[in-house]
Structure 1
Amino acid sequence: MAQTKKGSRLITVDGTTYRWRVRRKPTYAQGLCRPPLTFAVEAAGGEGPGTTLVVTTEQTHPGNWLFAEPGSVRPEHVADAVREALERGWDPARQGSPFLLDRSAGFRSPH
């Protein structure tokens, strides 16, 4: 499923352009700082929607309700995640289920 353009950003990694986005509002569980922050990445061009990369970070969602120190996703984090996912077999042009990349090894819920 293709991401909406509203609220997303473009990034070019090794000559390929991708669109990435962090969910603006936290899920209920993210609001309570239980699961960590996630973001989604997909190829920006092409014939149609391909496989979406979903990256789980080790940070809390910035919109959490418990005033925990918020995390942030920077363009260099996105570029690193894209490169790692490509090494692990993510094919952004192929259709299919989302490719999950778990980078939450150091996550600890503050509450």
Structure 2
Amino acid sequence: MSLPIKRARKVLVNGKCYRWIVRDRPTYTQACQGGKMLAAVELYGKQGSTLSIEFKWQRPDVAISSYPNSVTPKLIESCINKAIQEGWQSDTAGPAYKYYCDLDQHRTGFSN
């Protein structure tokens, strides 16, 4: 799966460039059932496995939102590092690697 070029942001992690994106609008399930915030990451300029990050908080634009929280480049960088430690291989083709992020940006100091 390839991420769209529009709205994708770049982040440099351990000398490799990645692109990441959060959907600009919630899916139907996220909006109606309070779905979790999701982000997708892939290696920039190469085909490989996509990293699917699920955060523990809900999107701020859904009907049942607990409290707003943001996804920052430093938080994405931390998730990429932890997913690599768990075994995600960004340059190897294959199914999306699912990673659950239990960090809370407000409590860890991951601002921009």
TM-score, normalised by the number of residues in structure 2: 0.83
Answer 1 or 2: higher relative contact order, Cα 8 Å, separation at least 6. 1
User: 1:73: which partner in 2?
Assistant: 71
User: Residue by residue, what CA displacement relative to the aligned partner does 1:64-83 show, whole Å, maximum 9, x if unpaired?
Assistant: 13464222101111000000
Matched, 1:18 2:18: yes
More helix by share: 2
Which structure's residues are more often strand, by fraction?
2
- What's the C-alpha RMSD, in Å, of the aligned pairs? 1.9
SS state of the match for residue 83, structure 1? Answer: helix
Q: 1:46-103 CA distances to partner (integer Å, 9 max, x unpaired)? A: 3xx2100000001111321346422210111100000001001111111111000012
Residues 58, 103 of structure 1: 8 Å contact kept:
yes
Where does structure 1 differ by over 4 angstroms across 4 or more consecutive aligned residues? none
- Contact 2:12–2:18, Cα closer than 8 Å, also in 1: yes
Please report how far the alpha carbon of residue 18 of structure 1 lies from its aligned counterpart in structure 2 after TM superposition. 0.2
Between the two proteins, what is the percent identity of the paired residues? 29
Q: What is the rounded CA distance, in whole Å, between the counterparts of 2:103 and 2:77 in structure 1? A: 19
Q: Tell me the residue number matched to 2:50.
A: 52
Once the 2 structures are TM-superposed, how far is the Cα of residue 31 of structure 1 from its aligned partner? 1.2
Structure 2 portions without partners, runs of 5+: 105-112
Q: How many residues align?
A: 104
DSSP-derived class of the 2:30 partner:
helix
CA–CA distance in 2 between the matches of 1:18 and 1:66?
31
Q: TM-score, normalised by structure 1?
A: 0.84
CA shift in 2, pair 1:59/1:105, >3 Å: same
